[in-house]
Structure 1
Amino acid sequence: MKKVGAILMVLCLFVVIMVGCTKESKENEKGGEESKVESTESKTSTNKKIKIGFAQKTLENEYQKALAEGLVEAGEAKGWEVTVLNAKNSIENEQKNMETFVSLKYDMIFINVVDTEAATASINAASEAGIPVIGIDSHVAEDAKVVTNIASPSYGNGRLVGLYAAKQYDVDELISTGLLSGNKGNPGGLDRRLGLFTGVIEGRIGCTETEARKFAEEFEQQLVKQGKALNQDANFEVVAQGWGGWSIEGGLPEMEDIMVANPDINCVMGENDSMLIGAMGAIEAADKLDQIQIFAAADAMKGALEAIMDGSSYKATGLNDPVLVAAKGIDVAAEVLIDGTDPKSYEKIVYTDAACITIENAEEYYDADATF
């Protein structure tokens, strides 16, 4: 009996041990499953689709359409989701669009501002919510908390076009110019015409860029005060300034008025291609294409490139490619969001490369299928 009792005790102890081991094994297995879930959730979080918002001021012209399309395409090429909200040139709409991106917790916002000062509150609200903001194309205010601004080099492009224009006239020939500007007070427009003035003066006098820039600023002051300006050493004058509102429709009548008052001009310069394409129509109607050469500080739009390649009086334009601007913006976004670059490490403005496009190189930049 004692022997049987001992055997039963051993069997009971074995069962208890086996049950305990089985329980521990199941708990470990359960813990392993929980670990797998945590690991999967972590991987999903790491690889979640990045969401980019673009608060675009307008989609009502070809440049802005191409800029939006370029941002979407460059973002999607990285597997990102890019949403464009159109403010339709309304400050109120822009504020609502920015609030939408913040409330939906987008990873980054690009903004092409309707108004420099009015956009600051929305930009800073997004930044304070932990969403980095990048200005693109238009200038933002000094106190706007952006990572940087992405833009074509307005001054740099203008200067290269001005240098080219200086070579298209004999040294002793007066460059008598009609100027087409976009709208008063626009900082980008000012940079573009200062670039044009600097390039012409630098090319004609043979001075340094720094010296030419100083002369160009004095030239601009003359223009503001008198409506015309002259640099005798460069044999260069602007006889009138028209405000074409950046459009073909605005450039044409302004050019007509300039030619009526100044029939002997041999040059027209402007702050973008659209106005100068309009001006070219007015020049053609006046039968003065052989008399007046045309130079734009920007944009290298398709119509201007076609005119340049045709060997017309449209001689040069600066490279303001919205697709390149968009691609540069997405590159900066990737550096911040993926590579971990400090957002505070960027310069105030990140530029694309400056270029002057002429009959010698226009084919390199021309795309028949381009939106802009």
Structure 2
Amino acid sequence: MKKLLLVLTMVALLLTSVTGCGNQNQTGNKSTGEQKQAEQVNTKYKPKNGQQIVIGFSQYTMGAPYFVEIVKAAQREAEANGCKFISVDGQDNINKQQADIEDLLSKNIDLLILNAKDPIGVVPAVKEAQAAGVPVIEVDSSIDPSAPVVTTIQSNNKENGKRVGLWLAEQFKGKNIKAALISGAQGNPVGQTRRDGVFAGVIAGQMKALGQEISDAKAEEYANDVEKQLVSKGKAKFDKANFEIVAQGWGSWAHEGGLKAMEDILVANPDINVLISENDSMALGALEAIKEAKQEGQVTIVAAADGQKEALALIKEGKYGATGMNNPTLIGKTAVQVGLKVLEGDKSFPKIYYTPPVAITKENVDQYYDPNAGF
């Protein structure tokens, strides 16, 4: 197998050679502090002589339509470029995902695309890929900085969350927000970034409505205070912005998980007026519980991320407030395109490549809704 020394150099790069990706939101990246400093090494890749490139994709779960669509989009793009594509499902188990990666490496893949189940637990497998000369691209989830990946391709979770939070604050205009929060998985950094982005947007928007404009940095500081309360108490209250989270439930990113978490929350908190979810799938499940409790129309529903077509259809009908755009088709396609550039010898990629942040609401949903979409 080829030997590869990867180069990660921070550049002000829009990846113009990657079609369909859109422009990277540099202003948003700087404001969130999520852009990590890259390291510099040298790329010395020599492509196989006329042999078909083999791309492996390790997805940690196929338990939600979003994850399925990332893999399908990557496969379409790989096959369109004449590559062989092999995907494996970690079944939401870190041990299986590690074994999956070892199996892919045994099949002499040229490129590994990875959506890590655990940001730290998968690091040894990534280092094994590096030792085998296989470049690794992380998608969707975040991974520990010690993992030698080329880049991480994901939506700008914090900026998406902020936009959703600002929209929510605009609906309430300083009035009391009594929210339930449904999160994906404990310890997941993407989930925390998403909800903290929403908190910052809500706080900034609410305080502006109350005549107290604050900076983005101050809004994030206050959001961190809310996060600390959640960690210690499982609920939080921020009186300066009339913003309260009465309970946090865990939905494992799935529809059924959101349904169960919301049922439990409503038993003790039937008077909530907002649901904040870290993705659409859990929010759609929670909506079923809200309907069962005969509270549909009384609870404003927002998701920090995804843009799932079922959620967009409800946004069009006015039954779902807003969601952040986290396009799995764009992420999967971009991962393959970037990977092929790496295999051609391209040495410069940002440590994190963000797709453009957008809050999808009734005002702009027609730009994004496709009833025939895979997700």
- 1:239 maps to which of 231, 246, 256: 246
Q: Amino acid of the residue matched to residue 181 of structure 1? A: S
The superposition leaves residues 140-196 of structure 1 with CA deviations (integer Å, 9 ceiling, x where unpaired) of 22211111111122212111100111101133x111111111121111110111011
Q: Given that residues 63 and 254 in structure 2 are in contact (C-alpha distance below 8 angstroms), is that contact kept between their aligned partners in structure 1? A: no
1:328 corresponds in structure 2 to 334
The superposition leaves residues 297-328 of structure 1 with CA deviations (integer Å, 9 ceiling, x where unpaired) of 0111121111111111x100111111011122
- Structure 2 unaligned regions, length at least 5: 1-46, 208-212
- Structure 1 unaligned regions, length at least 5: 1-43
CA distance in 2, matches of 1:93, 1:263: 40
What is the total number of aligned residue pairs between the two structures?
Answer: 324
- 1:308 maps to which of 315, 323, 335: 315
2:182 corresponds in structure 1 to 180
CA distance in 1, matches of 2:215, 2:49: 52
2:161 corresponds in structure 1 to 158
- 1:219 maps to which of 222, 226, 234: 226
1:129 corresponds in structure 2 to 132
Query: For 1:62-211, what aligned pairs fall within 5 Å after superposition?
Result: 62-171=65-174, 173-205=175-207, 206-211=213-218
CA distance in 2, matches of 1:61, 1:252: 14
SS in 2 for 1:366: coil
CA distance in 2, matches of 1:252, 1:92: 28
- 2:359 maps to which of 356, 360, 367: 356
1:282 corresponds in structure 2 to 289
1:253 corresponds in structure 2 to 260
Residue 265 (1) aligns with residue 265 (2): no
The superposition leaves residues 313-350 of structure 1 with CA deviations (integer Å, 9 ceiling, x where unpaired) of x1001111110111221231132122x221xx433322
In the TM superposition, residue 139 of structure 1 has moved relative to its aligned partner by: 2.2
CA distance in 2, matches of 1:75, 1:305: 28
Residue 337 (1) aligns with residue 365 (2): no
CA distance in 1, matches of 2:255, 2:89: 23
Would you tell me which structure has more helix in proportion to its own residues?
1
CA distance in 1, matches of 2:205, 2:56: 43
SS in 2 for 1:233: helix
Q: Given that residues 328 and 352 in structure 1 are in contact (C-alpha distance below 8 angstroms), is that contact kept between their aligned partners in structure 2? A: no
Q: Amino acid of the residue matched to residue 361 of structure 1? A: N
The higher relative CO (CA closer than 8 Å, separation ≥ 6) is in 2
Residue 228 (1) aligns with residue 235 (2): yes
In the TM superposition, residue 237 of structure 1 has moved relative to its aligned partner by: 1.1
SS in 1 for 2:229: helix
Q: Amino acid of the residue matched to residue 95 of structure 1? A: Q
CA distance in 2, matches of 1:333, 1:294: 37
Pick closer, same or farther for the CA change 1:287–1:94 going to 2, 3 Å. Answer: closer
CA distance in 2, matches of 1:262, 1:97: 42
The superposition leaves residues 100-145 of structure 1 with CA deviations (integer Å, 9 ceiling, x where unpaired) of 3323332211111233323211111111121111111222222111
In the TM superposition, residue 47 of structure 1 has moved relative to its aligned partner by: 4.3
CA distance in 2, matches of 1:242, 1:92: 26
Q: Amino acid of the residue matched to residue 176 of structure 1? A: K
Q: Amino acid of the residue matched to residue 170 of structure 1? A: K
The superposition leaves residues 67-96 of structure 1 with CA deviations (integer Å, 9 ceiling, x where unpaired) of 110101122222222221223334343333
Residue 318 (1) aligns with residue 324 (2): yes
SS in 2 for 1:360: coil
Percent of matched pairs sharing the same residue: 42
User: So what's the TM-score if we normalise by structure 2?
Assistant: 0.82
Structure of greater Rg: 1
Pick closer, same or farther for the CA change 1:232–1:49 going to 2, 3 Å. Answer: same
SS in 1 for 2:105: helix
CA distance in 1, matches of 2:186, 2:202: 22
1:32 corresponds in structure 2 to none
CA distance in 2, matches of 1:92, 1:222: 32
Answer with 356-365 or 220-229: which moved more.
220-229
1:370 corresponds in structure 2 to 373
